[in-house]
């Protein structure tokens, strides 16, 4: 998944939340905290947090100091002269 696809999914979620807001409005169900501004803010947070989470996961997966399996893998790479 690339950054563009991730932004599309976040936009899709924002559109879904907007549709729910409109539907609830037609039923005269209103929440103070659930409005267009809060949906936009939520999308903004997701757009900022999602790439950060993917980056942290990538750093974790590519680190040789975190798990025993990774340490064994690093030793094997050194033994084969690949690191």
Tens-digit pLDDT profile for the chain (83 aa)?
A: 677 788 888 888 888 998 998 898 888 888 888 888 988 999 999 888 888 888 888 887 777 677 788 788 888 888 998 87
Structure tokens at 35: 């409005």
What tokens does 10 get?
Answer: 């976040």
pLDDT on residue 48: 87
42 within 8 A of 79, measured Cβ to Cβ: no
| Alpha carbon distance 15, 36 (integer Å) | 10
Q: What is the pLDDT of residue 2?
A: 73
């Amino acid at each position: 998944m690339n950054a563009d696809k991730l932004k599309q999914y976040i936009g899709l979620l924002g559109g879904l939340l907007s549709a729910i807001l409109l539907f609830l409005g037609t039923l005269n169900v209103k929440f103070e905290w659930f409005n267009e501004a809060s949906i936009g803010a939520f999308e903004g947070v997701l757009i900022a947090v999602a790439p950060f989470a993917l980056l942290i996961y990538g750093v974790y997966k590519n680190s040789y100091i975190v798990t025993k399996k990774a340490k064994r893998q690093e030793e094997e790479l050194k033994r084969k002269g690949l690191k």
